[in-house]
Structure 1
């Protein structure tokens, strides 16, 4: 009899948890990311990075409890589109993505660059003679297509690209001017070896994004908190630690 009662209580608790609206219980949300140091990283099992720290502090100020999860980048995007309680970082705003997401707040500016160990290409034309590596599912794919690069290799993460560059398996690594140094060092190599070629296109911006069903009120609180951080100097203090 006691066992039946305990089981019944367990079933009721499970049903209750399923009926609690998303965002209840202190408005907990999930934030998905991938390994893009120094923007987002979980090196040593600790989540960090400049974009992640900004979002973590913004959520604290907004009274939101974020749970950070690191996923393969394409899976992170699919999960964000499918659910209404998920944010994604660091996410570049591009024309192809514009209508698919709710753009919560801009976080950080950056440029796409070619990184090499040998003399870097001085132009897009020279870059077309090299095998170029980048992470699949990122905005780098659009830039590679726009630049008409004929020899490209996609990987699941930038650490793989750093290793391939070191081993001579690619001639150039397409990444951001903020990320190359940290990723190469995380791979166990000396960032002083890196050489930087031309930038691709105009300045880009890393955003916090979500599905269109993500609560607008929570999105506004996060955006307002990031604006507040810019105004009081705390945003600059976080970014400075990663420069």
Structure 2
């Protein structure tokens, strides 16, 4: 996954225990692993989850029971109905908690979003934000368990394209997306803005003028990026995390950043406080 994203700073090791040692000994700064395998690897070398922290969730992937081609659709449907019934009566959650007590089990519906305050963000270890609270309330009124997960927008978007019964929020309704999803809303409104660094002297009077800018930061699969691509822009630098766009703009790596009016100020404040 990292290689596909163009990473060139990875170090590969022959086994998981060696990799964990490299992290704990300070020889590497990050360790790419899954939430299910890292606890066992830490336990094997005499450590625990208290010795590490989640720095960033690269992706959330759903695991299935796969039937071979040619299996009766009626049989597959019976298995699916039985699994859904186990999720409704609590049996599934009980089995899941036996093996993965720290994890939220996947429900019949998967509720996914990204980190973009104040719309969606983590607060006190729990997804929060004004659209998050709306989705949580709607789900509660329908008896749907609160299994909201935060991941990158690219990952959340691809989950909604690939898997059934995925609730993706909050998403702008655009021509490119109209036939890809089914829609409930609106739950808010937003303005897409091209931001320049204060003091840069950049003046843009039209989108056509922006095409002459050397580099514009965009967020992968955001409607802002899709809109600029539709308008024929070739100078876009795409990143999966909107915080990267702000960082690139402040560092002078790009001259403009395509972002949303809601949340831009919060992203900038968080970036400055982390510096």
**Does the CA contact (< 8 Å) of 2:84 and 2:108 recur in 1?**
no
Name the CA distance, whole Å, in 1 between partners of 2:193 and 2:109: 33
Q: If the length of structure 1 is used for normalisation, what is the TM-score?
A: 0.63
Q: Which has the higher helix share?
A: 1
**Does the CA contact (< 8 Å) of 1:113 and 1:177 recur in 2?**
yes
- Tell me by how many angstroms 1:125 deviates: 3.4
- CA root-mean-square deviation: 2.7
**Does the CA contact (< 8 Å) of 1:115 and 1:180 recur in 2?**
no
Which residue pairs with 1:156 in the alignment? 240
Alignment gaps of 5+ in structure 2: 1-78, 91-106
2:187 is equivalent to residue 104 of structure 1: no
Q: If the length of structure 2 is used for normalisation, what is the TM-score?
A: 0.56
| CA deviation map 1:26-59 (0-9, x unaligned) | 8863211112222111256331122112111222
Alignment of structure 1 residues 123-134 onto 2, 5 Å:
123-130=206-213, 131-134=215-218
**Does the CA contact (< 8 Å) of 1:165 and 1:172 recur in 2?**
yes
Alignment gaps of 5+ in structure 1: 1-15, 191-243
In structure 2, do the counterparts of structure 1 residues 170 and 189 end up closer, same or farther at CA, with 3 Å as the change threshold?
Answer: farther
Which residue pairs with 2:104 in the alignment? none
2:204 is equivalent to residue 141 of structure 1: no
Name the CA distance, whole Å, in 2 between partners of 1:83 and 1:179: 28
Query: Which of 22, 26, 29 in structure 1 is aligned with 2:109?
Result: 29
Q: What SS does the aligned partner of 1:102 have?
A: coil
Higher RCO, Cα 8 Å, sep 6+? 1
Q: Which has the higher strand share?
A: 1
Alignment of structure 1 residues 59-208 onto 2, 5 Å:
59-117=139-197, 118-119=200-201, 120-130=203-213, 131-188=215-272
Q: How many residues align?
A: 175
